[in-house]
Structure formats: C-alpha cells, structure tokens
Amino acid sequence: MAAIQVDELTRTFGDVTAVDDLSFTVDDGELFGLLGPNGAGKSTLINVLVTLLGPTTGTARVNGYDVSSEMGAVRNSIGVVFQEQTLDEELTGEENLAFHARLYGMGRRERTARIDEVLELVGLTDVRDDRVGTYSGGMKRRLEIGRGLLHKPAVLFLDEPTAGLDARTRRDTWEYIQRMNADDGVSIVLTTHYIEEAEHLCDRVAIVDDGEIAAIDSPEALKADLGGSVVSLAVDGSVSAFRDRLEDRPWAVEYTRTESGVNVTVERGEDRIADLVHLADEVDAQITSVDIHRPNLETVFLSLTGDTIASREASHERSGEEIIEPTGDGTPHQRAVDGRSESVHGGNDE
C-alpha cells in the first residue's frame, strides 16, 4: 500500500487555484520532496493532506485513509512539523513532549519511555529540563521534529523544516531527518525551496510551480533527463529568428523562451558560447548577457519553467500574487491576490 495516494487533487481559494489537478503517490518508507518557490502551492497541498484544508475536487488518501471522510484516522497516523514554530517556550523540552503525548492518549509508562527515545534521537537529552525559550533555533526545530515522531506515525510531514536556520544547523537537521527515515522506517514528505536540501535528502522530488507538478523523479534521473547545461541568454533583437536557427543545431538539446531571451540546453555549455553568438549575428540579434547553469535541480527547474526558484519568488512578490498559506493551527490568514484580500480558514471547509 502506498503511504500517500493523490488523484486529480485541486484546491482553490475564490478565483485562485493554489493546487491544480495533482496526481502522484508516495511509497511506503520513502523520503519524498516537494520542491518549488514560496507561493507555488506546496504548503496548501500539505494542509490538505493533513486534513487542515479540504480538497475542492479530487481525492487523497494517507495511510489508506481518505482525507475528507476519515480525518480522525488520518490525523492519528501522521506527524506534522509546520513552517511556523508551535512550541510552548515557557515549558521545558520534556514538558512539551509530555503534553503532546497526552493528547495522543499515551499512558505514563509508554510516554516516559518514548520521550526518552525521542530526546536521544534528536540529541536533546542534556537539555530536556531547560525551558524551550532558552533553546537555539536549531534545537527548537529538532524538538519539533521529535514531537512529530513521538506517537510513531506512519508518515511525517515536514513543511520547510530548515527555513531560517544557518548552514551548519541545516546540515545537522538533515542528519536527523535521514536517521529518522532509516532507523524508524517512517515515510517522510518535506517541502522545501532549497535546491541542495532536495538533492541531499530526497529519494524522489516533485518540482512544483504555480500549483502544478512540472516533473517528478529521483534527483539523479531529473538531472540526467536534462541532457546538459542550461545557457541563459539575454537577446536584443528577434528572439524568434534566433530560435529558428537553433532548430537545425543537433547540439541544442532544448530551448525555452524567457522574458529577456532564451534558455538553451546544450552539451558542454562553455564550448557552445561562440556558436550561440554566431547564430545571433546571423539574424542581426545581439546577445547582451550569458549565464551558464550546470546540471542540478536548479537547472531542472529553470529548464521546465523558464525561471529560477529565486526569480519566481521575487516575481510573486512584485506582482502581489503570492498566496500566504494557512498556518498549522488552522487560524485565519489574509491572502493578497491582485490587490484583493480574502480570509482563509483551516479545517475541512468544504
């Protein structure tokens, strides 16, 4: 049985489609990533899968349970670490875990044993009696991840698990995530906009853009499918004529139009710069800038969407179209879309 099965899932907010007709599966024991810019719909998808939002159309099953009709069963079988911190900083690390354990009906003996195991797993045994308000950002994140695992869920959802952490703490957190996946056998779904994080952690990655999945495969397969480096060219002149010349060049694996010119996927990108400049000269166009992106998930995203993740996020901010996702506690948030605002509520609001 698949850990997660999503079929033709759509979630809208008024006239805005945040998740658009998605279908995919997550295998049992898999570490699965959703990679894309902020505002791509990743957090909306997570909120549907953990039953904080209902789907507009389509279906999703988590651990075999339907997210619309079997919400309680879904929630009992999952762990969730949301993007926003939800710890009580006045309580100690152990007290935070104990409170969570009681919510899941764990008895004293089971609760004590499991808290010890989790604190050891995330490396916080020595500070279990310290107030969480004295913890560093990385320590708080590790405690939240441990809390999500406390009741031994079949699936753990991590929404931007290392956002805001420094590089060293981020890598330490990666180690804890990999250890949980390997040692406990828990299926993990994480959202991220960090290229390196997706490449380092995930068995498979779904590249998400504007609520759609542009591609889904292992990081290695996605990079191999690219077929070479992506050369981003800013072109002054007829881009259409320049693209027509690329048609006859076997070394031009793929090309896509951009706002300023064209992205060309080629083998040995550095060796083809002179050829590209020559082709532009033939149609009286001028190449005003060149940027070479060697194969990684950033170039995969660039090839599929015509833009980088950072540029896409900046574009959302400039246009005012970024969707502010609901937070993990289901509280209403205002969303600014094309200058309008509307209230978004968590929970099953079908």
Residues 131 and 268 in one domain: no
Is 299 exposed, middle or buried (CB count within 10 Å of its CB: 0-12, 13-18, 19+)? buried
The residue type found at 333 is H
Q: Give the position of tokens 């002179």.
A: 274
Residues 171 and 121 in one domain: yes
* Residue 211 domain flag: yes
Examine the fold and report which residue of 249, 275, 294 is the final residue of a domain before the chain moves on: 294
Average pLDDT over residues 11-35: 96
User: Cβ distance 173 to 201 under 8 Å?
Assistant: no
The residue among 188, 204, 110 whose CA lies nearest residue 151 is: 110
Residues 195 and 109 in one domain: yes
**Range name among 83-87, 196-200, 303-307, 318-322 with the lowest pLDDT average:** 318-322
Residue 323 is predicted with a pLDDT of 45
Residues 119 and 185 in one domain: yes
User: Cβ distance 113 to 160 under 8 Å?
Assistant: no
Residues 98 and 209 in one domain: yes
Q: How many CB atoms lie within 10 A of CB 27?
A: 14
**Range name among 226-230, 251-255, 291-295, 323-327 with the lowest pLDDT average:** 323-327
* Residue 344 domain flag: no
Reply yes or no on whether the pLDDT at 275 is more than 70. yes
Residues 105 and 144 in one domain: yes
Examine the fold and report which residue of 294, 320, 337 is the final residue of a domain before the chain moves on: 294
Residues 248 and 188 in one domain: no
CA dist 114 → 93, 99, 147 (Å): 13, 13, 10
* Residue 330 domain flag: no
* Residue 329 domain flag: no
The residue type found at 295 is P
* pLDDT tens track for 108-151: 999 999 999 999 988 899 999 999 999 998 899 999 989 998 99
Rounded to a whole number, what is the distance in angstroms from the first to the last CA of the chain? 27
Q: Structurally, how many domains does the chain consist of?
A: 2
Which residue range forms the structural domain that includes residue 270?
228-294
User: Cβ distance 281 to 255 under 8 Å?
Assistant: no
Residues 212 and 237 in one domain: no
Residue 333 is predicted with a pLDDT of 41
Average pLDDT over residues 307-329: 61
User: Cβ distance 321 to 78 under 8 Å?
Assistant: no
Residue 317 is predicted with a pLDDT of 64
CATH label of the domain that carries residue 285: 3.30.70.100
Reply yes or no on whether the pLDDT at 311 is more than 60. yes
Residues 210 and 253 in one domain: no
Angle (deg, nearest 10), helices 167-184 and 108-121? 130
* pLDDT tens track for 179-226: 888 887 899 999 999 999 999 999 999 999 999 999 999 999 998 777
* Residue 133 domain flag: yes
User: Cβ distance 160 to 118 under 8 Å?
Assistant: no
* Residue 348 domain flag: no
Average pLDDT over residues 248-274: 84
**Range name among 1-5, 40-44, 110-114, 340-344 with the lowest pLDDT average:** 340-344
* pLDDT tens track for 139-190: 999 999 899 989 989 999 999 988 888 888 888 889 888 988 888 789 999 9
The residue among 223, 193, 204, 190 whose CA lies nearest residue 309 is: 193
* Residue 266 domain flag: yes
Residues 234 and 144 in one domain: no
Residues 190 and 285 in one domain: no
* Residue 320 domain flag: no
Q: Please, how many CA atoms are within 13 Å of residue 324, restricted to the half-sphere of its CB?
A: 19
CATH label of the domain that carries residue 72: 3.40.50.300
Residues 122 and 251 in one domain: no
User: Cβ distance 176 to 196 under 8 Å?
Assistant: no
Residues of the chain with pLDDT > 70, as a percent, come to 89
